[in-house]
Structure 1
Amino acid sequence: MTDDIRPPLTVERGGDRVVATLDRPHTRNAIDLATVDALHALCVELEQEPRILILTGAGGVFASGADIAQLRDRRAPDARQGINTHAFARIAALPMPVIAAVDGFALGGGAELAYAADIRIGTSRTRLGNPETGLGILAAAGASWRLPQIVGPARAAELLLTGRILEADEALAWGLLSSLHDPGDLMSAAHALADRIAANDALATRHTKTALRAPLEAHPHIDLELQAELFERPEKRERMTAFLERRKR
């Protein structure tokens, strides 16, 4: 099946999670307009029925970047539409956590999609970076504001201004990846993270993500309002009672 026929995103649905796999092997999973449309459609589903999202790529590659064949012909009006920007912002804003399982290359727009995740894990083969300036453009789909939040302003500036590619060990040391795994174990590790998240209270998890994503000026008010709602729920008492009973044993 060619890239023109196969869907650019394959989606596996479970009760508490969804696995979405970028699948355009002939372009090393480059993100084209069809992929963006598929991501928007998936976001509609997860906004209506919140579940954990695991993002990954087929064939040992996360995403080699935006589709240059399409990007080359875009002009100023296309830039102002923020085609990738709005899709990745929607991924970042999903109610439940997003885990990026990054094997192989995650470059340009592929890296920016990974930056939109809450948690990123990788393998020894993972390569992350934004070479956009070498192509005469900038990384405008999230790197200039998400990357400083993840690795700090100085390291973000180095990465974006030089366009160099981080290897896995350095990405781990910088905090861009939280753990490394054998390629064959990457999805098991992603599911293990999802299992730990799913074992917690779903609304408490959603509220924690809301607090994490809130701007600095919203704290501590937003935390206290979210906590006030959680304090009134029977799930709080049930979970705390169960904890106290386990401690007595």
Structure 2
Amino acid sequence: MSTRENPVYETLLVERREDRVVVTLHRPEARNAISGRMIAELHRVCEDLEREPKLMLLTGHGGVFAGGADIAELRRRGRDDALRGINSRLFERMRGLPLPTVAAVDGWALGGGAELAYACDIRIAGPHAVFGNPEPGLGILAGAGACWRLRELVGESVAKQILLAGRTLDAAAALACGLVMDVVPADRLITEANVLLDRMALSSALALRLTKLVTDAPGAHPVADDLAQAVLFESPDKAERMTRFLEKNGGRS
């Protein structure tokens, strides 16, 4: 069962389900360009997910993920706006959400739109997806995480091709370099993204949360592995799941 609660949002469609939130970027008049209002509304979604952790599916309306940031707003921004990290603070907050996030991308994911997709844990693409960061052509850089996050996702060589040479990645190229998990028909994109989330939802929420926390921690961290595992070893959920597994398999591991 799901409920739609959109009256409080102007730039998003938000569908809340028992185990997930589906967020659709919705500025059809501007190819879902990321505006200051959208940033503020996405912060509200993050606040809800920090208070009540759920999986999140993020997508765009009308066959476009997000055509970039709102250029008219960007043109008005100055040094102090840059230092506030308007977009980067949101994307980093989204990256740090307790439970996994999936971006379902078809059509353009450019500039800030691409950086928003990069901030999600997993991306799945439709056949018309295009990722790119053309910011230097506008006299700025991809300053909301792409300059370092993209290198982590696809490697230094491909990252520099995108950031410096203006290369765009279509769906096939994004799949080949590991930026996306899969490419599926456009009319199946949201369905397949939800299937992925269904699979995650079968796992222990606490185990997912701690696995994400450890995976995102910088550097080598065997102690973090040990501490997270210690918490999970004492959880009733772990005992119940392993008991069900053994009973199903006649006591064999």
TM-score of the aligned structures, taking structure 2 as reference length: 0.94
Q: Which runs of 5+ in 2 are unaligned?
A: 1-7
Q: Secondary structure of 1:216's partner?
A: coil
- Counterpart of 1:28, as a letter, is R
- Write the deviation string for residues 153-182 of structure 1: whole angstroms up to 9, x where unpaired: 121112111122111100110111110011
Q: Distance in 1 between matches of 2:250 and 2:150?
A: 45
Number of equivalences = 244
Say whether residues 1:144 and 2:147 are aligned partners: yes
In the other structure, the counterpart of 2:224 is: 222
Give 1:6 deviation, angstroms: 7.2
Q: In 1, are the aligned partners of 2:95 and 2:119 still within 8 Å (CA)?
A: yes
In the other structure, the counterpart of 1:237 is: 239
Q: In 1, are the aligned partners of 2:46 and 2:97 still within 8 Å (CA)?
A: yes
Say whether residues 1:23 and 2:10 are aligned partners: no
Aligned pairs (5 A) from 1:1-249: 7-217=10-220, 219-248=221-250
- Counterpart of 1:238, as a letter, is E
- Write the deviation string for residues 38-58 of structure 1: whole angstroms up to 9, x where unpaired: 010001100000000000000
Q: In 1, are the aligned partners of 2:9 and 2:41 still within 8 Å (CA)?
A: no
Kindly, what percent of the aligned residue pairs are identical? Answer: 53
Give 1:82 deviation, angstroms: 0.6
Q: Distance in 1 between matches of 2:85 and 2:55?
A: 25
- Write the deviation string for residues 165-202 of structure 1: whole angstroms up to 9, x where unpaired: 11110011011111001111000011001101111101
Runs of 4 or more above 6 Å deviation: none
- Counterpart of 2:33, as a letter, is A
* Stretch deviating more after TM superposition (228-237 or 39-48): 228-237
Q: Secondary structure of 2:247's partner?
A: helix
Q: Distance in 1 between matches of 2:209 and 2:199?
A: 14
Q: Give the CA RMSD over aligned residues.
A: 1.2
Q: Distance in 2 between matches of 1:143 and 1:247?
A: 46
Q: Distance in 2 between matches of 1:43 and 1:81?
A: 18
TM-score of the aligned structures, taking structure 1 as reference length: 0.96
